[in-house]
Amino acid sequence: MSESIKILPNGPYQVSPDTKLTIQSIGADADRISREWQQGPEYPEKLTAYFLCRCGRSANKPYCDGAHEAARFNGAETADRTPYAQRAKKYEGEAVDLLDDERCAQLRFCDAGIGAWNLAIKSGDPNNLELAKQECANCSSGRLTLVQKDGMPIEPDLPKEIDCVQDPPRGIRGPLKVTGGIPLTGADGQDYEPRNRYTLCRCGLSKNKPFCDTRHINCTHMEGFDSVSE
Ligand code: FES
What's the CA-to-centroid distance between 200 and ligand 1, angstroms?
A: 14
When pLDDT is averaged across residues 136-153 and rounded to a whole number, the result is 97
Task: Take atom 2 of ligand 1 and give the residue whose Cα is closest.
Answer: 64
Task: Give the contacts of 90 (CB within 8 A, at least 6 positions apart).
Answer: 97, 98, 99, 100, 147
CA of 51 to the centre of ligand 1 (A): 8
Whole-model pTM over 0.85: yes
- What is the atom index within ligand 1 of the atom nearest the CA of 75? 1
Q: How confident is the model at residue 18 (pLDDT cuts 50, 70, 90)?
A: confident
Buried/exposed 87-126: b ≥16 CB within 10 Å, e otherwise: ebeebebebbbbbbbebbbbbbbbebeeebbebbbbbeee
Predicted local distance difference test score (pLDDT) of residue 62: 97
Q: What is residue 57's predicted lDDT score, i.e. its pLDDT?
A: 96
Ligand 1: residue of 61, 63, 68 to mutate (most ligand atoms within 8 A of CB) is 68
More confident call, 218 vs 162: 162
pLDDT at position 31:
87
Residues 167 and 173: their CA atoms lie apart, in Å, by: 6
The amino acid sitting at 197 is R
Report d(CA 179, CA 198) in Å as an integer: 7
CA of 89 relative to ligand 1 center, distance in Å: 34
Count CB neighbours of 1 within 10 A.
7
Say yes or no to pLDDT of 87 above 60.
yes
